[in-house]
Amino acid sequence: KGEQLAALADNGTRVLTEVTVAHHCSMRNSINRTSVLFVSISFVVLLLISLSWLIFYYVQRFRYIHAKDRLSRRLCSAAKKALSKIPTKHIKLGDKEVQGDGECCAICIEPYRTSEVVRILPCRHEFHRGCIDPWLVEHRTCPMCKMDILKHYGFV
């Protein structure tokens, strides 16, 4: 209708218009208080649920990490006790480790030499003491056959 009025005014036709306020619309009145209250309470409840879940998650994670650390320390301590029970041997000139082709340590791939110290595991595998000790503290198994030293010596 606005374009028609503009066309009439352009033609020189006399146009009489009346402007009245039909309905006063206020944003303040159009928002229902119940809706605002519902949205506010829903937001607070959702915030509390999220915060509770986050706290629960981090408490569980903290407990898991500390339990894992305690278990690791306990197993490391048990491995060190088991190491003290595993016999060692000083290689001498006539020993089988230095005769013929000679055996070598499976960890460092170096042949055994006279006056070196080897550790003989219960599974009868032999390794340099300096090679096998850190391995057993970390892994607690023979690198060749995977025999568990903690089970063998009754620590687990």
Instruction: Give the orientation angle of helix 129-139 with respect to helix 33-85, to 10 degrees.
Output: 150
The pLDDT value given to residue 17: 75
The pLDDT value given to residue 150: 92
Answer yes or no: is pLDDT of 29 > 80.
no
CATH code: domain of residue 96: 3.30.40.10
- Residue 80 forms part of a structural domain: yes
**Cβ atoms of residues 56 and 131 within 8 Å:** no
The pLDDT value given to residue 27: 58
Q: What is the CA radius of gyration of the chain?
A: 42
**Range from 16-20, 82-86, 87-91, 141-145 carrying the lowest mean pLDDT:** 16-20
- Residue 16 forms part of a structural domain: no
Residue 28 pLDDT class (50, 70, 90 cuts)? low
Domains in the chain, number: 1
- Residue 37 forms part of a structural domain: yes
Answer yes or no: is pLDDT of 119 > 80.
yes
pTM above 0.85, yes or no: no
Domain that holds residue 69: 33-152
Residues β-bridged to residue 90: 117
- Residue 8 forms part of a structural domain: no
The pLDDT value given to residue 126: 92
- Residue 120 forms part of a structural domain: yes
- Residue 128 forms part of a structural domain: yes
- Residue 5 forms part of a structural domain: no
